[in-house]
Amino acid sequence: MAFSTPSLNDFVRTAENGLASAFYGEGSVLRKGVLKVLARVFAGVAFMLVLLLRSMWRNLFLTSSDVEGLVNAGTDFSLPNKPESYARGKVIVKADSASTTIPQGTVLTTEDGVEFEAVSDTVLAGGSEGTPVSFLAVGSGESGNIPEGTVLEFRDGSPDGVDSEPVVGDGGFFGGMSYEVVVNGGVERWGETVENYRSRLLEYRRNQPCGGCVSDYKSWAERFAGVSRCIVNQNYPHAGGVRCVLCHFDDQLVGESVEVGEAVVQDVEDYVTSDERRPVTAAVTVVSCKDKELDFAICIEPNNNNVRASVRSALKNVLRSYSPGDTVRTEALSVKLLESSNAEKLAVFAISGGQYAVLDMDDAEMPIIGEIDWRDYNA
């Protein structure tokens, strides 16, 4: 049977009634006012003990644990929260001639003042195509996630013979994550939300390490900021092979892409394939998923902006549940969207002009939203 925590006033009344029955009467030993004071003292002590017991009880279970309890559980499992992370990427720098060097610590900025620092000394090759140079955001968080093609400028002036407007290379800057979390009264910066951390701990508890099973690879990969989901393909592309397909879901980012940056992929690959973890007989590869843009024709009732927003949000979440090699079908999608949106009636009429779309296994395709043609349900 469920137990509800009594309030402080409940404890006070219980103590008063107990003291009154013991000391009131014709030959009362204590005054009524004194008994009320004693009742509040006893009730306060009992109430604090009950609150402590309630906190201990809640923290026994990951589903109800507070942040401090999650951190303690993560320490026991050697599964800490993801630290805040800094966006990384390549910048294409052009020079008039070869041998020009971009020193480590060189700072580039965006128009909004976001700064990026060169990771190491890089000698430019010259030529019209330029040289890719690795840069790291100076500050953590999503502000450093900028798309490819963004024009940057040197904060302290460009070196002699170097183009003053370098451009962000393929894939853009990726991987910056930062969330404020209050732990033991202090503010910490995490690379994931509290609920995401809770989900990872629950996944670990429900799927204990088994020497290289699917859940092991998922746990190894999803501990990195910038990795929301790891899809494990067993015996792929050959017997004894394992492929980890990484996806990144972040509603704070502009655009629909779920691809993971090269730097994060390399970090995950180094971690997963280390001799301390990888089973000795497994040939492991780690890749990012590849966006496959799908266009949709969706009939809804009522056909208004509120319902459209609800259906679009539901569609984004449903598409994230697919994996490379799956087939996205109109019938199944219609049922899922109707269940998870506020549309009264809904039918997916077409997917990219057909009744289904196949996600290529070899290319590790994941579906993302392209154009949506909204239609009246009864039209």
Q: What is the pLDDT along the chain (379 residues), one digit of tens a residue?
A: 355 778 878 877 787 777 777 666 555 555 667 777 777 888 888 888 888 888 888 888 999 999 999 999 999 988 999 999 999 999 999 888 777 889 999 999 999 999 999 999 998 887 778 899 999 999 998 899 999 899 999 998 888 888 878 999 988 898 898 999 999 889 999 999 999 999 999 988 887 777 788 889 999 999 998 899 999 999 998 888 999 999 999 876 657 889 998 889 999 999 999 888 888 788 999 999 999 999 999 999 999 999 999 999 999 999 999 999 999 999 999 999 999 999 999 999 999 999 999 999 999 999 999 999 999 988 6
Task: Answer for the pair 102, 159: CB distance below 8 angstroms, yes or no.
Answer: yes
Instruction: Examine the domain organization and report whether 26 and 101 are in the same domain.
Output: no
Residue at 136 is within a domain? yes
Instruction: Examine the domain organization and report whether 236 and 219 are in the same domain.
Output: yes
Instruction: Examine the domain organization and report whether 297 and 371 are in the same domain.
Output: yes
Q: What gap in Å lies between CA 136 and CA 108, rounded to an integer?
A: 10
Instruction: Examine the domain organization and report whether 284 and 297 are in the same domain.
Output: no
Instruction: Examine the domain organization and report whether 277 and 346 are in the same domain.
Output: no
Lookup: tokens for 92: 């294409």
Structural domain count of the chain: 4
Residue at 53 is within a domain? yes
CB under 8 Å to 227, separation ≥6 — which residues? 221, 246, 247, 248, 260, 264, 268
Instruction: Examine the domain organization and report whether 303 and 235 are in the same domain.
Output: no
DSSP tag of 13 = H
Task: Answer for the pair 163, 151: CB distance below 8 angstroms, yes or no.
Answer: no
CATH number of the domain at 138, please.
Answer: 2.40.30
Residue at 77 is within a domain? no
Instruction: Examine the domain organization and report whether 251 and 299 are in the same domain.
Output: no
Residue at 26 is within a domain? yes
127-130 own/partner pairs: CB under 8 Å, 24+ apart? 127/94, 127/98, 128/94, 129/92, 129/94, 130/92, 130/93, 130/94, 130/95, 130/163, 130/166, 130/167
Residue labelled with tokens 């290289």: 212
* Domain termination site, one of 16, 42, 58: 58
pLDDT for res 305 = 94
Instruction: Examine the domain organization and report whether 337 and 261 are in the same domain.
Output: no
pLDDT for res 1 = 35
- Which CA distances in Å does 345 have to 301, 302, 319, 356? 5, 8, 20, 20
DSSP tag of 80 = P
Q: What gap in Å lies between CA 344 and CA 20, rounded to an integer?
A: 61
Structural domain of 226: 207-288
Instruction: Examine the domain organization and report whether 316 and 272 are in the same domain.
Output: no
C-alpha of 95 from chain center: 39
Map residue 90 onto helix, strand or coil.
strand
Residue at 30 is within a domain? yes
Instruction: Examine the domain organization and report whether 26 and 97 are in the same domain.
Output: no
CB-based burial, 208-231: b 16+ in 10 Å, e otherwise = eeeebebbbbbbbbbbbbbbbbbb
* Domain termination site, one of 231, 255, 288: 288
- Which CA distances in Å does 133 have to 154, 171, 185? 13, 13, 41
Residue 300: what are its φ and ψ, rounded to 5°?
A: -135, 155
* Domain termination site, one of 288, 316, 337: 288
Got the DSSP string for 118-178? ESS-EE---SSS-EEEEEEESS-SGGG---TT-B-EETT-PPTTB-SS-EE-TT-SB--B-
pLDDT for res 28 = 55
- Other Cβ atoms within 10 Å of 40 Cβ, number: 15
pLDDT for res 31 = 66
Instruction: Examine the domain organization and report whether 254 and 297 are in the same domain.
Output: no
Residue at 185 is within a domain? no
pLDDT for res 29 = 56
Residue at 186 is within a domain? no
Task: Answer for the pair 164, 155: CB distance below 8 angstroms, yes or no.
Answer: no
Instruction: Examine the domain organization and report whether 238 and 311 are in the same domain.
Output: no
Residue at 272 is within a domain? yes
